[in-house]
Amino acid sequence: MLTDAEFAIVAREVKTRSGAVLTKDLAGACEVRLAPLSRREGFGSVAELLSAARIRPDGALYAAIADALAQSETRFFRDKANFARLRNELLPKAIQRRGHERVRIWSAACATGQEAYSVAMTIEELRNQGQAVAAEIVATDMSERLITKARSGLYTQFEVQRGLPIRTLIAYFEKTGDLWRIADRLRATVRYEQHNLLKHPGALGQFDIIFCCHVLNSFDEPTRAATFQRLADALAPEGVIVLGAGETAPEGVEGLVVENGVVRKGAARKAA
């Protein structure tokens, strides 16, 4: 297991680079996840990796360490109520507001892409039912490693079994050896970009719907509030931020109203 001093270095770099707060009980898990990186970089142990990172001036090893520890826990149609609400309420309202323009949807901190592809499947279901849906899906993560996997659209049997009924799997995936690949037509509808939530998303433009689920709860309160404010800045008028089950918006973000797990901006009705 990492020593206290080694873990302190790892925790500091992860928080600085990703915003996530690592607790001491994760020291063993951190060492396990850093071991493959140590081998790839030619070191005999995680301790050697950390020693080299301390003296390397360009910070590349610290960046690789933060990437290796980036949160990757996700699954298809996680929080099913969110996708039911997307299909039945959020998308129809956004389409009505936009008229002939595309609805813009952002999957923030998308990890390996299951959330973004779940949005794409939801939109295709609506189209198959005869609804005209013009939409653009942008998915971002700070981790180049996770973005690369998401772009590939390749998932293991275990990954597709988490959240996908067999009928959905057959409709939207094809078997490729031991893996499953999402249909090219859906893969083409998602634009993946590398973006760190600690930076302002101005270059991404504004969005009608932002998914940011099970990410901010790993931040401390000041970082959480500042990150949420940046998300709010990326909302189009009357846009919404969708949170994970049980999550709430942080205090101190102005101009937003929370309604049943969805955070609204603009013309939302104020709570009594």
Beta strand spans in 62-113 (E): 103-107
Go through the domains of the chain in sequence order and give each one's CATH number: 4-68 (no CATH), 80-265 (3.40.50.150)
Q: Once rounded to an integer, what is the mean pLDDT over residues 180-207?
A: 97
Closest CA to 65 of 27, 42, 38: 38
Ordered alpha helix ranges (H), 130-196: 144-152, 157-161, 166-172, 184-187
Strand-strand pairing, 179-182 and 154-155: antiparallel
pLDDT at 269 over 60: no
Q: Are 71 and 109 in contact (CB under 8 A)?
A: yes
Mean pLDDT (the chain) is 92
Locate 32 and state its tokens: 């396990």
How far, in Å, CA of 151 to CA of 146, rounded? 9
Report percent pLDDT > 90 for the chain.
Answer: 84
pLDDT at 271 over 70: no
Q: What is the pTM of this model?
A: 0.91
pLDDT at 127 over 70: yes
Locate 166 and state its tokens: 């067999």
Q: What is the pLDDT of residue 253?
A: 77
